[in-house]
Amino acid sequence: MMLGRKPKAKSAKVVVDVKEPAAKKIQCMIRVFLAKIRIRRTAKRVWQRVYDPTYKRYFWFNNLNETSMWTKPKFVEMYYDEDREATQMIQKVIRGFVGRMKARRVANTRYTRFYDANLNKFYWLDQKTQQTTWNVTPWLERQEINMPPEDQMLYDSQTKIRELMAQLEAKDQE
């Protein structure tokens, strides 16, 4: 029996195929992160920051072996520079993702895509200026801008006809 410690609750094990290198790497990173948190929590319990009025500065006192030092002990600080850099990188990725989502939403509300069956090309109507254009930016061309139902049906039927013609041609080649 261990005194002063609570028994650990058994957690549900998640089965992940560890043969996958990406899964191994993520698991390793999570384990390192959790270990750092445990070490920092322990260090915070062991080390106490105390003010010395004689020198008018703080020192660090170790509660376990009752020693002190002027410099900050390792692992007492909760976040290091590399943690801050990683946080900024993650925030940068998320801000980019959110910005792209907003831009897609604006593009979907501002533009309507139409299909011209004679030319087999798309053209766009700018709802704000009521102008149509055949040439748009590559980014806008890649977006799935909504089409009116009749244009969507026309495009789908043209695509289906092309597929069937390709299949017929393949049959004729045999």
Q: Is residue 3 part of a domain?
A: no
Instruction: Mark whether 75 and 123 lie in a shared domain.
Output: no
Number of structural domains (the chain) is 2
Q: Is residue 36 part of a domain?
A: yes
What value does the mean pLDDT take over residues 36-57? Answer: 86
Query: From the centroid of its chain, how far is CA 98?
Result: 10
The boundaries of the domain holding residue 74 are 21-82
pTM of the entire predicted model: 0.46
pLDDT in tens, 63-119: 889 999 998 887 776 666 677 788 888 899 899 999 999 999 999 899 999 988 888
Instruction: Mark whether 73 and 122 lie in a shared domain.
Output: no
Burial of 34 per CB tally in 10 Å (0-12, 13-18, 19+)? exposed
Q: Tell me, what's the pLDDT at 79?
A: 61
Q: Tell me, what's the pLDDT at 7?
A: 56
Angle, CA of 51, 54 and 57, to the nearest 5°: 40
Q: Tell me, what's the pLDDT at 145?
A: 87
Instruction: Sort strands 111-116 and 67-69 into parallel, antiparallel or unpaired.
Output: unpaired
Instruction: Mark whether 78 and 32 lie in a shared domain.
Output: yes
* pLDDT, averaged across the chain: 83
Instruction: Mark whether 115 and 75 lie in a shared domain.
Output: no
How far apart CA 149 and CA 115 sit, in angstroms, is: 11
Do 146 and 138 contact (CB within 8 A), yes or no? no
Instruction: Mark whether 77 and 25 lie in a shared domain.
Output: yes
Last residue of a domain, one of 64, 82, 100: 82
Q: Is residue 65 part of a domain?
A: yes
